[in-house]
Amino acid sequence: MRKILIVEDDAEIAMLEKDYLNMSGYSSEVIGDGLEALEALRNGEYELVLLDLMLPGCDGYEICRLIRDEIDIPILMVTARVELPDRLHGLQLGADDYILKPFDPAELVARVISHLRRYERLTEWKAEEESEEPLTAGDIRIDPRQRSVYVGDREVRFPKREFDLLKYFVSNPNVVHSKKQLFETIWGYDSSGDLATVTVHVNRIRDKIEKDPSNPKRIETVWGIGYRFHCP
């Protein structure tokens, strides 16, 4: 059975999540402390984590950052915070999606299924990358086999989603891509999720490849549509 870690200190909410996930065929475990959950993720074989923001000791934002620095699994934040800055902050730290409290348990299960399927596709994509040749666009060089990116002579670190998005742009230059299309291609599910995550990741890539991120020349914004990667 696929294992899911629920990081939630509210016992009632945690048991609701656990019951619905178990009824849907998953094996789930509940931990109410963020640092304890991080240690369990390091030692366990979990495939997805449901992460509450309001945790004792170390909040969900910091735990999200620590997880993303070490472990490559989907992170779904479960929170009552509905303001856009809160959601963007979580996405910037590496969260894959948000589930707002109070939530429909059926929607929570559907989001879990969707993210696990996306992760499977990305894993298959990574296996295919091992046979791919390096890609170049100006002074940007991408080695899919090593999952490395060089800008000029400098190697730049790109987390998984940023790497996949940049690789997709370089593989499909001078074409306008809508946010919905990018969301479906890179995150692997339809646009019922938060399209703001596309903007967040594009901005983070710009910070790493543009000479002036505030006036981007490589990843251009096509207003009202999406983005275009300019390849000379």
Residue predicted with more confidence, 123 or 209: 209
- When mean pLDDT is compared over 71-75, 188-192, 226-230, the highest value belongs to 226-230
129 closest CA partner among 153, 107, 149, 146: 146
Please classify residue 24 by burial: count the beta carbons closer than 10 Å to its beta carbon, then call 0-12 exposed, 13-18 middle and 19+ buried.
middle
**Angle, CA of 205, 206 and 207, to the nearest 5°:** 90
- The CATH code for residues 131-229 is 1.10.10.10
Nearest to residue 56, comparing CAs of 7, 5, 120, 127? 7
**Quick one: pLDDT at residue 114?**
87
Q: What is the mean pLDDT of residues 170-184?
A: 91
* Domain locations in the chain as residue ranges: 3-126, 131-229
User: For residue 191, what pLDDT is reported?
Assistant: 44
Superfamily classification of domain 3-126: Response regulator (3.40.50.2300)
pTM: 0.63
Confidence of residue 125 (pLDDT cuts 50, 70, 90): low
